[in-house]
Amino acid sequence: MVDIATRVHNHNWKIDPIVRSLLDTDFYKLLMCQSIFRNRPDTRVTFSLINRSAHVRLADLVDEGELREQLDHVRSLSLTRGESTWLRGNTFYGKRQMFRSDFMEWFEGLRLPPYHLEKRDGQYELIFEGPWPEVMMWEIPALAVLMELHSRAVLKGMGKFELQVLYARATARLWEKVERLRKLDGLKLADFGTRRRHSFLWQDWCVQALIEGLGGAFVGTSNCRIAMRRDIEAIGTNAHELPMVHAALAETDEELAQAPYRVLADWHEEHEGNLRIILPDTFGSESFFRRAPGWLSKWTGVRVDSGDPEKGAETAIRWWKERGEDPREKLVIFSDGLDVDRIESLHARFSGRVKVSFGWGTLLTNDFRGLTPDDRLAPFSLVCKAVSANGRPTVKLSDNPNKAMGSAEEIARYKRVFGVGTQTAQEVVV
């Protein structure tokens, strides 16, 4: 076990770069990247950092020189032979050779493209532009770098003893959560905490705690490097990025309305089983289900990632019943802002009605709330999203309007096209 407090106190660039590998990313990025490499390799996109928690003035806390140093280090990374062998030869979701040879040859030669960075009103403007398969691979490392530099800035003035106490308290908090969770009969839970983690070392420690504390109830991690290192399952399917970009490329309102389903038709051709998971909320879940083609009801399950999770799961259950499917044979993955109380309540409400699983994110890998003066280590909502495709703006409506992205004009158009009515705003915590 790594003595994290000592490592934090003695941070050394050579042993503690924030991103250590191109595999220090979420598994769904690799699955999506292969699909994009096959179907849309020439699409040009722009990704941008977006700090939803504007009160956290990142540019005032994080040194620009350190940020550039870490980003430049990420650009120097490439797959090692061992990492390539793991991707080429490992079994993922029961399938050997998940990644095709042509994609792997491309990925083995990948270096991430340049970035644009400047300060604006206490925030960093961080932008990535270029071919979609290359630029999309910046999302996770960019977030990991900013989040950990924020943590390091807060911790910089602490002494060794103070750091030991801080991490002891955070460790005790996590273990108390584990002790509550292992009381849940039939629990299935994965680590989804890469994007907004406290640090790489802390995420790795959290995963080890779940392996020991939850046993078979812990089904894996979204982080590819940790999955390889700890010999556990890599978990992930697809994300909002796919329908957002495909929708932006639509020429007409009719094409726009069909974009989410065309994306899933491509996915259907490539994957089966537990990789056939619907993420319905990009342009509103109720609208998605209302218009969904019948073949989608045969898919394995649904991921609920915004809005009221109880309402989202009930909507999916009702949809399956209306199409003659047995919800008890379907999987619902909850993944939005989870912590133990919410996991317990959702597990109690839906166990037996559907197969239930949880993707536990920021409040697994970055719960330092109340452990420092002024609560400066509390997690905050930082995202890196595709904001344009071939020069056209992207939009995300979500089931929570506080997570919506895009200009007011474009959001209004998408709501009209997708038939989205009144939505209930909810606080975005992480």
Residues counted in the chain: 430
Has residue 215 got a pLDDT over 70? yes
Mean pLDDT within 230-243: 97
Mean pLDDT within 224-249: 97
Asked if 382 contacts 143 with a C-beta cutoff of 8 angstroms, the reply is yes
Distance CA 283, CA 38 (A): 25
Q: Which residues contact 421 (CB under 8 A, 6 or more apart)?
A: none
Q: Which two tokens stand for residue 378?
A: 């509390």
Mean pLDDT within 187-194: 98
Asked if 29 contacts 132 with a C-beta cutoff of 8 angstroms, the reply is no
pLDDT in tens, 395-404: 999 999 989 9
Q: Which residues contact 329 (CB under 8 A, 6 or more apart)?
A: 355
pLDDT in tens, 32-56: 999 999 999 999 999 999 999 999 9
Q: Which two tokens stand for residue 386?
A: 């595709």
Sheet with 123-131, strands from edge to edge, namely 116-120, 123-131, 44-51, 382-389, 392-393
Has residue 421 got a pLDDT over 90? no
pLDDT in tens, 347-386: 999 999 999 999 999 999 999 999 998 999 999 999 999 9
Mean pLDDT within 66-75: 97
Neighbours of 147 (CB within 10 A): 25
3-state DSSP call for residue 303? Answer: strand
pLDDT in tens, 135-168: 999 999 999 999 999 999 999 989 999 999 999 9
What contacts 24+ positions apart, CB below 8 Å, involve 412-419? 413/253, 414/247, 414/256, 414/283, 415/284, 417/253, 417/256, 417/257, 418/257, 418/283, 418/284, 418/287, 418/288, 418/291, 419/284, 419/287, 419/290, 419/291
Has residue 1 got a pLDDT over 70? no
Distance CA 389, CA 245 (A): 6
When pLDDT is cut at 50, 70 and 90, the band that residue 12 belongs to is low
Asked if 240 contacts 32 with a C-beta cutoff of 8 angstroms, the reply is no
Mean pLDDT within 169-194: 98
Mean pLDDT within 288-304: 97
User: Phi-psi bin for 419: left (phi > 0), alpha (psi -120 to 50), beta?
Assistant: left
C-alpha angle with apex 17: 193 to 27, nearest 5 degrees? 35
Distance CA 306, CA 244 (A): 16
Extended strands (E) in 346-390: 355-360, 382-389
Residue 181 burial (C-beta neighbours within 10 Å; 0-12, 13-18, 19+): buried
DSSP state of 42: T
